[in-house]
Amino acid sequence: MTTGTPRPPIDTSRPHSARVYDSLLGGKDNYPVDQAVAQHLPAEAKAGAFQNRAFMNRATAWLAGVGVSQFLDIGTGIPTAPNLHQIAQEIEPRSRVVYCDNDPIVLRHAEALLISSPEGATDYVHADVREPATIIEAARKVLDFDRPVALSLLGLLHFLPDDQNPRAIVRTLAETLPAGSYVVLSQGASDVNPERGEQGAAEYGKGGIRLALRTRAEFARFFEGLDIVEPGLVTAPEWFRGTPAPQPEESGVYVAVARIP
């Protein structure tokens, strides 16, 4: 977070996806409007929030373990321990992490994201994913874009409908990264339990939040030109590398990690 970043007012009259996510995880940094959406979502939404978080933990640990020491996390959400930098720096203390989100409440809690190891660094950028050039310009102050970077957008793509061209956003971000970098994505599925998916989209819609669930094939298009690593494009509980396999469970969240060739 750039020192002196103005703190915009928090609109508590409308729900925000980051605060709904916080409510689903049992957090306290949300408001009645966010809780109302979360309470009416199907049970799968809560399970998906925890599955998405657990996937982040496993993917970050694996990336740090194979030598990645720079991370750009967009759509960070409200801090929930362990945060990405804590996982990465436990394995590689020199890891440098830049977080980004557009919710003012995340900005107000960003100090929790800036407690870095002495050898590493963390920073926070208050910006919208639909402004990739702004994010990259700010991230360059902390990250060395001549070395591999792990770019993650977790729990975010399904809040970017196709008319906002999310594939172009991901492509623009990925094209700024050098070979050997990684892209880590998750996406709510429309073809795992369509009825529950439609219910969730309707509840978010009542709060003015557009939900864009996608099929497995549609999600795969985000990785065109990239090399998806094992175990491939799978549901969140099915993704693990070098860690004990999670207990099998149903999931409506697709995930994948891909290497930039």
Q: Which CATH architecture has domain 17-259?
A: 3-Layer(aba) Sandwich (3.40)
pLDDT category, 6, cuts 50, 70, 90? low
pTM over 0.95: no
Specify burial of residue 145 (Cβ count, 10 A radius: 0-12, 13-18, 19+). middle
**pLDDT tens track for 178-205:** 999 999 999 999 999 888 888 888 888 8
**pLDDT tens track for 37-53:** 888 887 888 888 899 99
The Cα angle at residue 169 between residues 7 and 190, in degrees rounded to 5: 100
Q: Per 3-state DSSP, what percentage of the chain is helix, strand, and coil (rounded to 5)? A: 40, 15, 45
- Per-domain boundaries in the chain: 17-259
**pLDDT tens track for 141-154:** 999 999 999 999 99
* Residue 79: predicted pLDDT: 82
Among 54, 66, 51, 58, smallest CA distance to 259 is for 66
